[in-house]
Amino acid sequence: MTLCAPPRPIVSRIRSTRFVLYRRQFPAVTVWDGPPFCKGQSERHSSSKSPIALLKLTPLPQTLKQKAAEVVHSDLPSGTAVTVNGWIRTIRKHKKYAFVNITDGSYDKVLQLVFADPEQVNDLRVGVSLEVNGTIQRRDNLTDPYEILVDNYDVIGGVPEDEPYPLQNKYLSQDYLRRELPTIRFRSLSSGVTMRFRSRAVSEVSRYFEENEFIQAHPPLITSSDCEGAGEVFSVVSESSVTPFFGKKGYLTVSTQLHLEALMMGLSRVWTLTPAFRAEKSITSRHLSEFWMLEAEVAFVNRLEHIMSLVEGLLRTTLRRLKESGELHSVLSVKTFLEKQKLQDGEGEDKDQEITHAQVLQRWDGMLQDSPWKRITYKHAVDVLQQAEREGKARFETSAEYGDNLKSEHEKWLASQYAHGPIFVTQYPSQLKPFYMLPTPGSNGETVECFDMLVPDLGEIVGGSLREYDYKRLKATIERVGMDSSELEWYADLRKWGSVPHGGFGMGLERLISYLVGIYNIRDVIAFPRWVDHCVC
């Protein structure tokens, strides 16, 4: 019997005066008790004696975003009875009316509740959660499509009367929200729009991989080896066991690449998005001890350009779709509002640098430029940096030297001043890179087929390479760099049974999100950041 999938959601763009909204229309939630109707099968199934039974399931309460889409798309008239839920963001009392703005976090807008009697809001406070019954009042000529004339409401959850609500209607810096309000900050405009953007970005990444026939994998987070060989790992131990719990040492993964390669050897194209852990005692704005790593491995590729084009295609497509769906508009709207709020409140400089509305647009324009992103070898990059310093076009704290890692200042300059957008730096010296990378043909092992992708203001956000696929050469490299070959025997053995040329990449999700939404510190684009000496809640 041939089965077909249920219909895909229809995405429609809804426009009204100063209001752009994207609405996903899904079929009613049902459970099929019989074969689905597919093209070419309708006639056969419709004549069947057994009717198709549909079991309707209870829908969830609508979010404010869904309700707004329904009002605009379905032309619900004024006077239509509705029920909405949310948290109070602001309260304004006037002589004849009171206005309460609520939000539920589903999007960046608020819903205005209108109380005909101002005395009705006397017991309400900012932060209280409500269930409200009322009627729609359309506002066709204003920014928001409608408001609710309140009939009655129930307080779901109150707030302490003797304590001020932590999120007052004033400018609060990212640093303050992170340090002082680590759990409630998600109700703030800035944290809310960032978490929603992150969620949609992950959805679009998943969509791109699915369209290109990649299989999502779930490799382990506990490993028996250090993938990078740098020693910056967290050990996993059992407090109740004297001997090693796994029979040998276990570590939290720094990268799932090695296990992805094993999966790739049977599935050809695999990807994952998983936590990664690095015991780096770094307190910079670019590092976390726990972060999310997007990784992919591809079989039957023998050119580095294959992997770089995969990365460029993934990011260009994801950004274009995020822009078309209105996610960029939401980010910029919130950023503009916060910039004005900061000026009005007379706040000084934040501890973290501010990235403006215009700078965010510039970043997106660079990523979506018409021409392909630049490619440049490591040797050429060092030559360019040295020449720029000689000619007085750049001043670096540390001069670029062949054989040394590029510093953050070098990476930023190459992307900002040389490429004016993203740039791939390829073929680094082999001593600077991990053991598993394929030597560059004709280099006598001096360089490897790898790349770092750099962007302006931030530096590296993606690293990738072709992998060594010859068993004997890989074993020789492991021994040469002094790693424990017994811990990597399973990995090397992948090359013994029908090995193929392959490659892949890894990208830190937080670095990408911080770059796209214009947040300086990556600790502010992950829900609960962990770094050295810091593990709150």
Contacts of 9 (CB under 8 A, 6+ apart): 24, 25, 26
pTM, whole model, 2 decimals? 0.86
What's the chain's average pLDDT? Answer: 87
Cα–Cα distance measured from residue 264 to residue 504, given in angstroms and rounded to the nearest whole number: 10
Cα–Cα distance measured from residue 198 to residue 488, given in angstroms and rounded to the nearest whole number: 35
Residues 219, 274: contact at Cβ < 8 Å? yes
Q: What is each CA distance from 363 to 339, 360, 382, 482, in whole angstroms?
A: 18, 5, 24, 42
Res 93: pLDDT:
94
Question: What is the average pLDDT across 54-65?
Answer: 89
Nearest alpha-carbon partner for 127 in 90, 163, 80, 154: 90
Worst-scoring range by mean pLDDT, 94-108, 198-212, 330-344, 374-388? 330-344
- Look-up of token digits 């670095």: 511
Cα–Cα distance measured from residue 143 to residue 148, given in angstroms and rounded to the nearest whole number: 15
Cα–Cα distance measured from residue 177 to residue 341, given in angstroms and rounded to the nearest whole number: 16
Name the percent of the chain lying above pLDDT 90. 67
Q: Any idea how long the chain is?
A: 537
Nearest alpha-carbon partner for 124 in 168, 161, 172: 161
DSSP 185: G
Token code pair at residue 47: 């004549």
Confidence of residue 227 (pLDDT cuts 50, 70, 90): low
**SS3 breakdown of the chain: % helix, strand, coil, rounded to 5?**
30, 25, 40
Q: What is the pLDDT of residues 113-148, one digit of tens each?
A: 999 999 999 999 999 999 999 999 998 766 788 999
- Look-up of token digits 């004997």: 472
Res 229: pLDDT:
57
**388 has pLDDT over 80:** yes
Nearest alpha-carbon partner for 477 in 433, 514, 515: 433
Helix (H) or strand (E) segment spanning residue 97: none
